[in-house]
Chains A and B, each alone.
Chain A
Amino acid sequence: MSLLEIKNLHVTVGGNEILKGIDLTVNAGEVHSIMGPNGSGKSTLAQVLARRDAYEVTEGSITFEGKDLLEMKPEEAACEGVFLAFQYPVEIPGIGNTYFLRSALNAIRKYHGEEEMDAMDFLPMFREKLKLLEMDDKLMNRSLNEGFSGGEKKRNEILQMAVLEPKLAILDETDSGLDIDALRIVANGVNSLRSKDRAMLVVTHYQRLLNYIVPDFVHVLVDGRIVRSGGKDLALELEEKGYGWTEKESLQPVGARS
């Protein structure tokens, strides 16, 4: 059984069809990259997987470890092991970073019938993860993402992922707006979380991130359809030829990897 199976997924937002029949299978241990021009539906796919309810699924199915993902609330999907690193992480004044993260971890533990983790056990583990992302623990005393720079916000997303240890991590344009140093730190964080039990879906506009997080598979999303799939070299080819190249070829879609 595959970790994630998307079949013929059609999604509408406010009456406009954004995704027009996506098929994608992701197995544990694999890193897939979804590339595509702006407005192609990449973020929509990421948000649907995280179960944002603003999107209406009109056709198709998504299963996660054989369970119907579309039946899940966002918190259920998260507890089952789906994690979305947001393109635009939300600032929430008044909720402390550390408190929030421990609450999230404990919600997931509770869901699996595990005991909640107290502050004494949480903090040492948390400090390790902070080091991994080269983050200042002073940031953690602040409110969630409040006053964080763009790079700090993105690092915080990966930090959360490192703490929550999802089965499927979806990185939604995690590279956008990062300078090369921040990009390297984020990529190191992500790479250290690669494992045979964990799959990743790296959504990006540019090939740059994929120099650091090398994917097993690359899919090109254009106008709501996957028009090409291939290995990591596809990303380089895209970078060279531009998305226009795939758009021309989309008349003969290659289809999803089987």
Chain B
Amino acid sequence: MRETAVAVAHIDSWLENFTEFEKKTAGRALPWLHRLREDAFARFCEVGFPTTKDEDWRFTNVSGIAKTLFRPAATVKLAPGDSAAWRVDDVAATLVFVNGRFERELSETSNLPKGVTVASLRERIESHPEEVQQHLGRYADTARDAFVALNTAFIGDGAYVRVARGVVVEAPIYLLYLSTKEGGATMTHPRNLIVAEDQAQFAVIEDYASVGGESVVLSNAVTELVAGESTVAQHYLIEREHLKAWNVSTLRIQQGRSANVTSHSLLLGGGLVRNNVHPVLAGEGGECLINGLYLGTGAQHLDNYMYVEHASPHCASRQFYNGILDGHSHGVFHGRIVVHKDAQKTDAKQTNRNLLLNDDAQIDTKPQLEIYADDVKCTHGATIGQIEENALFYLRSRGISEREAKKLLLLAFAEECVERMQSGVARQHIEHLVSEHLLFTEGIAPVSLEERVTERVVEEVG
């Protein structure tokens, strides 16, 4: 261990956690992996958790996380019935992780086309260390972000997806991360590595959910997605954990020449959520669509931090995020676009639209453009509004109840994002979740938050 200045509270606890983890984790005999973890842990100790003085975290206070003593989530066996309710039909493969660990019995990977690997990262590290080494930890930046550092220090399990050159996977690959109720605060650090060679085509859904009641949990996930030349990739993130969950998700995308990658996020659950999406358009002619929807209610805090890096000429990026905020929830959209010196002919666009359903709901939206090239087109725009009175009256004047009319208008607003989702399977799954969720949104239904949560737990158990 290197000597470093320590900026972390409960450093003893973290050190103990890390030491214990390193003793039994996968690939502990691999020097490169050992070094990756150790360096990341040192980095974490050095920088500590961000504070609101940090510009990137101005609107999101994670002192609750910093103050909490976490231990690793226990290994729990779920009966197949317990996760059946979460299953998505018509997918190419399903991987289920319970408290961060791969569950083979709940997973299904037997119908994949040739040239596609979908496996547990832990297993892949053991069986094909060189293949994993080529990419793991090369993109997600531990120096920038303490949560990425922490995740990297605790790289243990997660999904490993590899799509060979020219292979088209028609149906999405579904990754489900379940956290269970525990005594005390627990943490998981899912680490996913998705690598597509040239001219591949595929979609991955990451779905974070809770089973069996609420306890304090930190889900700190990092996904590295590498898209080769002319590859077409879709990534979906769904956050629907319970309201005691802290969820920090980081998606780091590395795009090759003419690669076309889309990132879709749906934030429904979680007490405090930070959704980092960081594509680097590293090859010429790349295209990137970042699309998201966040629906906050109660005291939820939903932070979307977009960081689009244009590093090559002739690339295009589009960001569309819509938020609906009810109760006294707090939404954040931070859209940062960096156009590097050589990235001429960049075409970058960003739009953030918000509906506030309650006077106590809050949104902070912040564009941030840093342009170092001189021949580029960058636009950004943000709107904050309420349900339009005219539209509401129009619907009601045709016999539709106020509640139903509001729901229709909210669904329509959400649909702007949903209809950008190319995969029919993913879109249907998400459409269903959004429509169910809006049924329970406070502003349109006289249902208290407690009732709403109970309702969900029932659904989870069933």
Nearest neighbor of A93 in chain B, beta-carbon distance: B412
Q: Once the chains bind, are B412 and A104 in contact (CB under 8 Å)?
A: no
> Closest CB-CB distance, A76 to chain B, in whole Å?
9
Given contacts A93-B416, A94-B412, A95-B412, contact A164 B399 (CB under 8 A): yes
CB-CB < 8 A to A26: which residues of B?
none
Q: Once the chains bind, are A75 and B399 in contact (CB under 8 Å)?
A: yes
Q: Once the chains bind, are A74 and B404 in contact (CB under 8 Å)?
A: no
Question: Is B372 located at the chain interface by the 8 A CB criterion?
Answer: no
Nearest neighbor of B394 in chain A, beta-carbon distance: A90
Nearest neighbor of A106 in chain B, beta-carbon distance: B399
Query: Which residues, 386 to 403 on B, are CB-close (under 8 Å) to A?
Result: 388-391, 393-402
Query: Which residues, 415 to 450 on B, are CB-close (under 8 Å) to A?
Result: 415-416
Produce 1/0 per residue, A51-65, CB < 8 A to B: 110100000000000
Interface-centre pick from A75, A86, A95, A105 (highest chain B CB count, 10 A): A75
Q: Once the chains bind, are B397 and A107 in contact (CB under 8 Å)?
A: no
Given contacts A52-B393, A86-B394, contact A75 B412 (CB under 8 A): no
Query: Which residues, 88 to 127 on A, are CB-close (under 8 Å) to B?
Result: 89-90, 92-95, 100-101, 103-105, 107-108, 111
> Closest CB-CB distance, A193 to chain B, in whole Å?
16
CB-CB < 8 A to B415: which residues of A?
94
Nearest neighbor of B398 in chain A, beta-carbon distance: A104
Instruction: Name the contact of B397 in the complex, choosing from A54, A74, A92 (C-beta under 8 A).
Output: A74
Interface-centre pick from B400, B409, B413 (highest chain A CB count, 10 A): B400
Q: Once the chains bind, are B396 and A75 in contact (CB under 8 Å)?
A: yes
A79 to B401 CA separation, bound complex (whole angstroms): 10
A143 to B428 CA separation, bound complex (whole angstroms): 19
Question: Is A24 located at the chain interface by the 8 A CB criterion?
Answer: no
Query: Which residues, 69 to 87 on A, are CB-close (under 8 Å) to B?
Result: 73-75, 77-79, 83-84, 86
A143 to B393 CA separation, bound complex (whole angstroms): 17
Q: Once the chains bind, are A95 and B408 in contact (CB under 8 Å)?
A: yes
Instruction: Name the contact of B399 in the complex, choosing from A52, A79, A95, A143 (C-beta under 8 A).
Output: A79
Question: Is A174 located at the chain interface by the 8 A CB criterion?
Answer: no
CB-CB < 8 A to B171: which residues of A?
none
Instruction: Name the contact of B411 in the complex, choosing from A74, A86, A94, A107 (C-beta under 8 A).
Output: A94
Instruction: Name the contact of A103 in the complex, choosing from B390, B402, B408 (C-beta under 8 A).
Output: B408
CB-CB < 8 A to B396: which residues of A?
73-75, 78
Interface-centre pick from B398, B400, B409, B413 (highest chain A CB count, 10 A): B398
Number of interface residues of B (CB under 8 A): 23
CB-CB < 8 A to B416: which residues of A?
93-94
Q: Once the chains bind, are B394 and A89 in contact (CB under 8 Å)?
A: yes
Q: Once the chains bind, are B394 and A164 in contact (CB under 8 Å)?
A: no
Q: Once the chains bind, are A73 and B409 in contact (CB under 8 Å)?
A: no
CB-CB < 8 A to B408: which residues of A?
95, 100, 103
Nearest neighbor of A91 in chain B, beta-carbon distance: B391
Q: Once the chains bind, are B400 and A75 in contact (CB under 8 Å)?
A: yes
Given contacts A90-B391, A92-B391, contact A107 B412 (CB under 8 A): no
Q: Once the chains bind, are B411 and A75 in contact (CB under 8 Å)?
A: no
Q: Once the chains bind, are A94 and B413 in contact (CB under 8 Å)?
A: yes
Produce 1/0 per residue, A146-161, CB < 8 A to B: 0000000000000010
A100 to B405 CA separation, bound complex (whole angstroms): 10
CB-CB < 8 A to B391: which residues of A?
90, 92
Question: Is A50 located at the chain interface by the 8 A CB criterion?
Answer: yes
A143 to B416 CA separation, bound complex (whole angstroms): 12
Query: Which residues, 195 to 241 on A, are CB-close (under 8 Å) to B?
Result: none
Q: Once the chains bind, are B412 and A92 in contact (CB under 8 Å)?
A: yes
CB-CB < 8 A to B411: which residues of A?
94-95
CB-CB < 8 A to A101: which residues of B?
398
CB-CB < 8 A to B401: which residues of A?
75, 107
Given contacts A94-B411, A103-B404, contact A160 B394 (CB under 8 A): no
Nearest neighbor of B390 in chain A, beta-carbon distance: A90
Given contacts A86-B394, A92-B391, contact A111 B399 (CB under 8 A): yes
A64 to B411 CA separation, bound complex (whole angstroms): 34
Nearest neighbor of A90 in chain B, beta-carbon distance: B394
CB-CB < 8 A to B400: which residues of A?
75, 103-104, 107
A99 to B413 CA separation, bound complex (whole angstroms): 16
Q: Once the chains bind, are A104 and B394 in contact (CB under 8 Å)?
A: no
A107 to B403 CA separation, bound complex (whole angstroms): 12
CB-CB < 8 A to B409: which residues of A?
92, 95
CB-CB < 8 A to A89: which residues of B?
394
Nearest neighbor of B400 in chain A, beta-carbon distance: A107
> Closest CB-CB distance, A40 to chain B, in whole Å?
22
A92 to B412 CA separation, bound complex (whole angstroms): 8
Given contacts A90-B391, A92-B391, contact A84 B412 (CB under 8 A): no
Q: Once the chains bind, are B393 and A74 in contact (CB under 8 Å)?
A: yes
A107 to B389 CA separation, bound complex (whole angstroms): 20
Q: Once the chains bind, are B402 and A73 in contact (CB under 8 Å)?
A: yes
Given contacts A95-B412, A103-B408, contact A108 B399 (CB under 8 A): yes
Nearest neighbor of A47 in chain B, beta-carbon distance: B393
Q: Once the chains bind, are A107 and B413 in contact (CB under 8 Å)?
A: no
> Closest CB-CB distance, B12 to chain A, in whole Å?
53
CB-CB < 8 A to B389: which residues of A?
54
Given contacts A92-B412, A95-B408, A95-B412, contact A100 B399 (CB under 8 A): no
Instruction: Name the contact of A50 in the complex, choosing from B388, B397, B402, B405 (C-beta under 8 A).
Output: B397
A90 to B405 CA separation, bound complex (whole angstroms): 14
CB-CB < 8 A to A164: which residues of B?
398-399
3 smallest beta-carbon distances between A and B, as pairs: A94-B412, A78-B399, A104-B398
Q: List 12 A-B contacts (CB under 8 A).
A: A75-B399, A75-B400, A78-B398, A86-B397, A90-B394, A95-B395, A100-B395, A104-B395, A104-B398, A104-B400, A105-B399, A160-B398
Given A90-B388, A100-B408, A107-B398, 10 other A-B residues pairs in contact with their CB atoms under 8 A: A74-B393, A74-B397, A75-B401, A78-B397, A86-B397, A94-B413, A104-B398, A107-B399, A108-B399, A164-B398
